[in-house]
């Protein structure tokens, strides 16, 4: 590990965020509404709490056998006439995807944090492709030239008035600084409509994957994932290996707990995708590419995950469902958003920075910004002991292995 | 211990613990002054563990307001925190200077400690106190990631406690109590001290007392993180407050008990991010002020300091921040 710390510049960034009134306004609104929603969702479906305990056991079983599950999923996907890949590193994943995409293509993209982790959009753009983020939050971020500040709500740090100002500049369509949220949503829909149909390739992530059938579960509300994964002729999915569970019934449990703690009673859409589009309606001859994509590619990314899985205490970070609930309970995140983080945010983000991205300086900066107050743990559906992990990580950083 | 990745504010606290057995690096005699005249004995089996936080609360307040001032200036807090270590080498010990300035005020800053002792006595418990021999629990070492140093310190501290014949410890500072309760057993072989928090002791015996606060007040309670989420002391403070006549307990909607928001003064965070810590303190104070309480009660020296500062900043006119030990003491006097 390197011995110098860029703590000073990081602290400067954190403090600028903490002094930013716009950021504070946006976060205060978001936290209030998230807490009310999640309370409502859990009251309406109280079995979720016990179900989350089942998910802990599923994760305990799955994480140590991630590699085996990935091989099983690849086999299942190929049996379904898709293609499966296991990428050892971020570079390998980027190469696989870039080779599939080529150059001069139009790409529509659903939100994928794993894509953010490896810099997928930037990489494809550098290869000469036109890439459109279709999740509204990501779309705002892309147009702002900013980076996501929350895992499920990437534009959480932008108040509505600022979105209106941005859209009035980049979208036109009669949006003014006084426009309401409904008009802004309509303008984004209008702008992106053709892109789905022009696109050569659709890219998505996945919330959980059933290894036995190779089924991706993708949770969303906007419908952009449905369009991105069914309209273009090619669908490419990038998935972190920690998302794999053995069976499809395990995957249903993980998915339900994920959306419930992500503040939804039930999301509008859950897509289950196991292979390319096909039909056998003419003489029972299976033909691929009916109305959906003809090609289906899934890349499972290791990128340090199997290394993290071997650490007795920090491996818990791989249980994370990425519901984002902990972030709404973090007092520091509440004033800084994702500035308190790296590719992933807040306390748990430090572990990812240290082990998965191998960036000890960044990891130390994030680790020492954690209050170890423990409210994240209180909220976590799968009981990840973030304060303990942070202290363990500080030990690794301060004293070495 | 200097991997270069530990922020300077924390290495400063760590150095003091290792070299002087307290977080500020002042003399132990100074810290024990609050107990003068209370006649607390050494060499008894049950001791009251006073810890650094309350004993140095006045010094810490001065240090923090200095650090915050500098943190907001162009210099940033890293420099002076690091500088303090050089000053020590040069014989210019900043904390000593604060202490000397503050010593004139007498031990008034440690009010909750004397109050807690009076409360214990009213409940028929006569605790001992090791005064200048009380070891430092070293919790900031653990939180800074310096576990090897923490382990060494824990073994030494345990040895000291044993050498005075201690069998039972009544802790009051949440960090110290959690360290003695949860952390020491991980690092000290055959650890056999019985550790209880002051509130557990009090809540168990509260029924025997007639309690009446001097005036009718609305009170809200702020749960310190280490007490509520680590030591799981949730009901005790509420049971105590509800048992006091003239006190009406009002709590925030969401951010109460296990969901209480951190005051921003946790685990050495305030030494690394003095200004941000102030922002968080004032955010928490705002949540508590929304209850319309006349008094914000909490039970941790760090929380008291953070919330006082927060209330001051928000101009919470007439709202007092008090430690639960003081409230109890006041309710017993009448």
Which DSSP string do the residues of B185-238 spell out, in sequence order?
HHHSTT---EEEEHHHHHHHHGGG---EEEEEEEEEEPPPHIIIIIS---HHHH
Interface of B with A (CB under 8 A): 1, 3-7, 10, 76, 78, 142-148, 225, 229-230, 254, 258-262, 264, 266-267, 269, 272-273, 275-276, 279-280, 283-284
| Topology given in CATH for the domain delimited by A82-158+200-303 | Rossmann fold (3.40.50)
Burial track B192-222 (b if 16+ CB lie within 10 A, e otherwise): ebebbbbbebbbeebeebebebeeebebbbb
Do residue B295 and residue B188 come from a single domain? no
| pLDDT for B306 | 94
Interface of A with B (CB under 8 A): 1, 3-5, 7-8, 11, 14-15, 18, 35, 329, 331-332, 334-335, 360-361, 364, 367-369, 371-375, 377-378, 391, 393-400
Cross-sheet strand order for the sheet of B168-171: B46-49, B168-171, B194-197
Q: Distance (Å, rounded) from C-alpha A60 to C-alpha A72?
A: 18
Is pTM beyond 0.80? Reply is: yes
Q: Domain end: B160, B186, B202, which one? A: B202
Do residue B269 and residue B321 come from a single domain? yes
Which one of B3, B76, B146 has the shortest CB-CB distance to A3?
B3
Q: Domain end: B202, B221, B239, which one? A: B202
Domain assignment of residue B92, yes or no = no
Q: How far is A367 from chain B (nearest CA, A)?
A: 10
Domain assignment of residue B137, yes or no = yes
Do residue B159 and residue B221 come from a single domain? no
Do residue B124 and residue B27 come from a single domain? yes
Residue range B219-227: mean pLDDT, rounded? 98
Burial track A12-43 (b if 16+ CB lie within 10 A, e otherwise): eebbebbebeebbbbbeebbeebbeebeebbe
A284, A347 in Cβ contact below 8 A?
no
Contact (CB<8Å) B145/A18? no
Do residue B217 and residue B307 come from a single domain? yes
Domain assignment of residue B78, yes or no = no
Domain assignment of residue B55, yes or no = yes
Domain assignment of residue B2, yes or no = no
> Which residue on chain A is closest to B8 by alpha carbon?
A7
> How big is the CA angle at A32 (ends A27 and A36), to the nearest 5 degrees?
145
The Cα-based distances of A295 to A125, B128, B284 in angstroms read 21, 77, 53
Q: Distance (Å, rounded) from C-alpha B75 to C-alpha B313?
A: 23
Contact (CB<8Å) A329/B276? no
pLDDT in tens, B79-126: 545 545 544 444 445 555 555 545 544 444 568 999 999 999 999 999
Q: How far is A401 from chain B (nearest CA, A)?
A: 12
Domain that holds residue B257: 208-333
Contact (CB<8Å) B6/A398? yes
Calculate the average pLDDT of chain B: 86
Substitution target from B228, B276, B277, B306 for chain A, most A beta carbons within 10 A = B276
Do residue B243 and residue B127 come from a single domain? no
Contact (CB<8Å) A395/B145? yes
Do residue B267 and residue B163 come from a single domain? no
Domain assignment of residue B56, yes or no = yes
Residues on chain A touching B281 (C-beta within 8 angstroms): none
In 3-state terms, chain B is what percent helix, strand and coil (to 5)? 55, 10, 30
What is the pLDDT tens value at each position of chain A, 401 positions in all?
343 447 778 888 999 999 999 899 889 999 999 999 999 999 999 999 999 999 999 999 999 999 999 999 999 999 999 999 999 999 999 999 999 999 999 999 999 999 999 999 999 999 999 999 999 999 999 999 988 888 888 888 888 999 999 999 999 888 988 899 999 999 999 999 999 999 999 999 999 999 999 999 999 999 999 999 999 999 999 999 999 999 999 999 999 999 999 999 999 999 999 999 999 999 999 999 999 999 999 999 999 999 999 999 999 999 999 999 999 999 999 999 999 998 899 999 999 988 887 888 889 889 999 999 999 999 999 999 999 999 999 999 888 76
Do residue B180 and residue B300 come from a single domain? no
Contact (CB<8Å) A398/B5? yes
| pLDDT for B18 | 80
A–B interface: beta-carbon pairs under 8 A:
109
Domain assignment of residue B83, yes or no = no
CA-based nearest residue to B297, from B112, B91, B36, B90: B112
Q: Distance (Å, rounded) from C-alpha B157 to C-alpha B185?
A: 12
Please state the domain count of chain B: 2
Count of residues making up chain A: 401
Domain boundaries, chain A: 7-44+307-399, 82-158+200-303
Q: How far is A3 from chain B (nearest CA, A)?
A: 6
Instruction: Classify residue A83 by its DSSP letter.
Output: E
Residues on chain A touching B261 (C-beta within 8 angstroms): 331, 375
The reply to whether A7-44+307-399 and A82-158+200-303 are identical in fold is: no
Q: Domain end: B202, B230, B254, which one? A: B202
Helix spans in A102-154 (H): 113-118, 120-126, 136-144
Q: What is the largest CA-CA distance in chain A?
A: 69
What is the 3-class SS of A319-386, one letter each residue?
HCCCCCHHHHHCCCHHHHHHHCECCCEHHHHHHHHHHHCCCHHHHHHHHCCCCCCCHHHHHCCCCCCH
Q: Distance (Å, rounded) from C-alpha B142 to C-alpha B233?
A: 21
Substitution target from B1, B3, B4, B5 for chain A, most A beta carbons within 10 A = B5
Do residue B57 and residue B38 come from a single domain? yes
Domain of residue B228, CATH code: 3.40.50.11810
CA-based torsion, A94, A96, A97, A101: positive or negative:
positive
A268, A46 in Cβ contact below 8 A?
no
> Which residue on chain B is closest to A13 by alpha carbon?
B276
Do residue B219 and residue B295 come from a single domain? yes
CA-based nearest residue to A89, from A125, A117, A63, A70: A117
Q: How far is B103 from chain A (nearest CA, A)?
A: 31
Do residue B136 and residue B47 come from a single domain? yes
Strand B295-298, strand A130-133: pairing:
unpaired
Residues on chain A touching B147 (C-beta within 8 angstroms): 395, 399
In 3-state terms, chain A is what percent helix, strand and coil (to 5)? 55, 15, 35
Q: Distance (Å, rounded) from C-alpha B128 to C-alpha B170?
A: 10
CA-based torsion, B183, B185, B191, B193: positive or negative:
positive
Q: How far is A192 from chain B (nearest CA, A)?
A: 39
Do residue B234 and residue B292 come from a single domain? yes
Q: Distance (Å, rounded) from C-alpha A81 to C-alpha A77?
A: 6
Q: Distance (Å, rounded) from C-alpha B105 to C-alpha B109?
A: 8
CA-based nearest residue to A329, from A375, A297, A284: A375
Kindly indicate whether the domain formed by A7-44+307-399 is annotated with CATH number 1.10.8. no
Domain assignment of residue B68, yes or no = no
Which one of B78, B145, B254 has the shortest CB-CB distance to A394?
B145
């Amino acid at each position: 590990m390197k011995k110098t710390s860029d703590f000073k510049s990081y602290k400067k960034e954190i403090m600028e965020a903490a002094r930013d009134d716009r950021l504070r306004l946006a976060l205060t609104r978001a936290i209030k509404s998230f807490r009310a929603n999640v309370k409502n969702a859990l009251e309406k479906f109280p079995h979720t709490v016990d179900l989350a305990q089942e998910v802990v056991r599923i994760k305990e079983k799955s994480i140590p056998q991630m590699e085996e599950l990935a091989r099983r999923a690849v086999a299942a996907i190929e049996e379904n006439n898709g293609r499966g890949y296991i990428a050892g590193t971020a570079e390998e994943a980027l190469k696989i995807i870039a080779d599939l995409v080529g150059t001069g293509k139009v790409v529509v993209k659903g939100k994928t944090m794993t894509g953010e982790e490896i810099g997928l959009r930037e990489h494809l753009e550098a290869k000469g492709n036109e890439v459109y983020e279709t999740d509204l939050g990501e779309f705002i971020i892309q147009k702002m030239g900013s980076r996501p500040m929350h895992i499920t709500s990437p534009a959480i740090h932008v108040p509505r008035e600022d979105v209106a100002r941005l859209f009035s500049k980049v979208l036109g369509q009669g949006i003014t600084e006084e426009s309401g949220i409904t008009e802004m949503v309509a303008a984004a829909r209008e702008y992106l409509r053709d892109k789905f149909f022009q696109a050569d390739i659709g890219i998505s992530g996945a919330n959980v994957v059933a290894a036995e059938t190779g089924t991706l579960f993708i949770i969303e509300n906007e419908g952009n994932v449905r369009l991105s994964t069914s309209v273009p002729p090619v669908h490419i999915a990038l998935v972190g290996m920690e998302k794999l569970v053995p069976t499809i019934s395990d995957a249903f449990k993980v998915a339900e707990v994920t959306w419930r703690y992500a503040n939804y009673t039930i999301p509008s859409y859950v897509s289950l995708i196991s292979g390319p589009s096909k039909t056998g309606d003419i003489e029972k001859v299976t033909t691929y590419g009916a109305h959906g994509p003809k090609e289906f590619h899934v890349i499972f990314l290791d990128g340090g995950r199997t290394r993290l899985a071997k650490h007795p205490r920090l491996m818990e970070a791989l249980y994370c469902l990425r519901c984002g609930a902990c972030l709404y309970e973090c007092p520091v995140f509440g004033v800084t958003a994702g500035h308190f983080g790296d590719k992933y945010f807040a306390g748990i983000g430090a572990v990812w920075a240290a082990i998965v991205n191998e960036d000890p300086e960044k990891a130390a900066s994030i680790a020492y910004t954690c209050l170890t107050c423990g409210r994240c743990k209180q909220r976590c559906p799968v009981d990840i002991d973030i304060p303990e992990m942070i202290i363990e990580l500080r030990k690794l950083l301060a004293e070495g292995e | 211990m200097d991997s270069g990745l530990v922020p300077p504010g924390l290495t400063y606290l760590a150095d003091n613990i290792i070299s002087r057995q307290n977080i500020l690096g002042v003399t132990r005699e100074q810290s024990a002054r609050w107990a003068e005249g209370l006649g607390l004995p050494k060499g008894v089996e049950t001791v009251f563990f006073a810890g650094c936080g309350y004993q140095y609360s006045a010094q810490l307040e001065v240090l923090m307001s200095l650090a915050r001032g500098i943190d907001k200036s162009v210099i940033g807090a890293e420099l002076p925190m690091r500088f303090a270590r050089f000053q020590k080498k040069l014989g210019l010990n900043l904390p000593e200077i604060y202490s000397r300035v503050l010593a004139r005020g007498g031990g008034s800053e440690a009010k909750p400690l004397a109050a807690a002792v009076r409360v214990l006595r009213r409940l028929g418990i006569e605790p001992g106190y090791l005064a200048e021999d009380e070891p430092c629990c070293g919790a900031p070492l653990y939180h800074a990631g310096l576990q090897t140093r923490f382990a060494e310190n824990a073994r030494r501290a345990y040895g000291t406690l044993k050498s005075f014949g201690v069998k039972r410890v009544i802790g009051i500072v949440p960090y110290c109590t959690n360290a003695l309760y949860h952390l020491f057993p991980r690092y000290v072989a055959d650890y056999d001290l019985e550790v209880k928090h002051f509130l557990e002791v009090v809540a168990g015996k509260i029924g025997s007392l007639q309690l009446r606060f001097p005036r009718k007040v609305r009170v809200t309670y702020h749960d310190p993180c280490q007490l509520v989420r680590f030591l799981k002391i949730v009901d005790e403070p509420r049971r105590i407050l509800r048992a006091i006549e003239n006190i009406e307990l009002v709590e925030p909607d969401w951010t109460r008990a296990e969901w209480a928001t951190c005051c921003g003064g946790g685990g050495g965070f305030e030494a690394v991010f003095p200004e941000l810590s102030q922002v968080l303190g004032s955010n928490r104070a705002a949540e508590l002020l929304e209850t319309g309480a006349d008094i914000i009660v909490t039970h941790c020296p760090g929380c008291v300091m953070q919330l006082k500062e927060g209330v001051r900043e928000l101009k919470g006119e007439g709202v007092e921040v008090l430690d639960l030990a003081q409230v109890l003491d006041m309710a017993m006097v009448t």
